[in-house]
Amino acid sequence: MIDKKLSVPELEQMAKQIRRDIIDMIFTANAGHPGGSLSATDILTALYFRMMRIEIQNPQWEDRDRFILSKGHACPVWYATLANRGFYDRAHLKTLRKLNSLLQGHADMKKTPGVDMTVGSLGQGFSAGVGMSLAARYLKKDFHVWVMIGDGEMQEGAVWEAAMAGAKWKLDNLTAILDKNGLQNDTFIEKVMPIEPVADKWRAFGWNVIEIDGHNMTQIVSTLDCALTIKGVPTIIIANTIKGKGVSFMENQPEWHGKAPNAEQYRQAMQELGVAQ
């Protein structure tokens, strides 16, 4: 269970700490994906520190809520969130991508405490979330399944197969969260394969659609609460975000999809995130 639900100001401060951890992890490893990790930070903070029913000392508790980061390359945000939530010691954050570390380049449910689904190939995490939601219904469990997908990931056909299944089975115990930051890999979504009109497409597939500012913590909290009240259909929250949020030179810049900062960039990023130099 959540031992203490953080207030909105406390969530905002925790998100800032998680962003610092993301930058520190990727700088130390000299590898990783900062852009999409930073865009997702506020939402993961709200989920783990306010919304989700979990037990830190028993990560495999069968009645826990589930979370899947289907855009798995952004796992630094997941790792930093889990560490700050207490699933493992923060010292592990310095071991990102090292041999035998708990924290590999993509999250592994057999290695990392608190990870509910191994992620890698885009689209598959969302499909697994549909399966977990169906399993909850079959087992008469009341846990909720949250799945974050990326807007580049929406170009995968598996996403739409899962969306059809979620609507068919009226999975109101499933909430998808679209981290809509407008970029993928090395350029903008619109240049690769346009996905608009996103909201209309999800409505056409039978989903309840809510659009928010994915960096407004008050909106995030109220919308996550609202998603739990929707019955008879699954919900998708379309979160409009900024890739690289919180670090000025990373924001909305495609090059920071998968790139580590150098020493000077690291110092600037940490200073912007509130670390005295």
Task: Look at residue 275 in the predicted model and tell me its pLDDT.
Answer: 77
CB-CB contact of 272 with 250 (8 Å):
no
Q: Classify 8-272 by CATH class.
A: alpha beta
Task: Look at residue 121 in the predicted model and tell me its pLDDT.
Answer: 85
**Through-space distance between the first and last CA atoms of the chain, rounded to whole angstroms:** 38
For the chain, 277 residues long, give each residue's pLDDT as a single digit of tens.
Answer: 556 799 999 999 999 999 999 999 999 999 999 999 999 999 999 999 999 999 999 999 999 999 999 999 999 999 999 999 999 999 999 999 999 999 999 999 999 999 999 998 888 999 999 999 999 999 999 999 999 999 999 999 999 999 999 999 999 999 999 999 999 988 999 999 999 999 999 999 999 999 999 999 999 999 999 999 999 999 999 999 999 999 999 999 999 999 999 999 999 999 999 975 5
- Dist CA 16 CA 132 (whole Å): 31
pLDDT tens figures, 65-87: 999 999 999 999 999 999 999 99
Task: Look at residue 277 in the predicted model and tell me its pLDDT.
Answer: 57
Task: Look at residue 2 in the predicted model and tell me its pLDDT.
Answer: 54
CA angle, residues 273, 19, 115, in degrees to nearest 5? 170
Residue ranges per structural domain of the chain: 8-272
Q: What are phi and psi of 49, to 5 degrees?
A: -105, 5
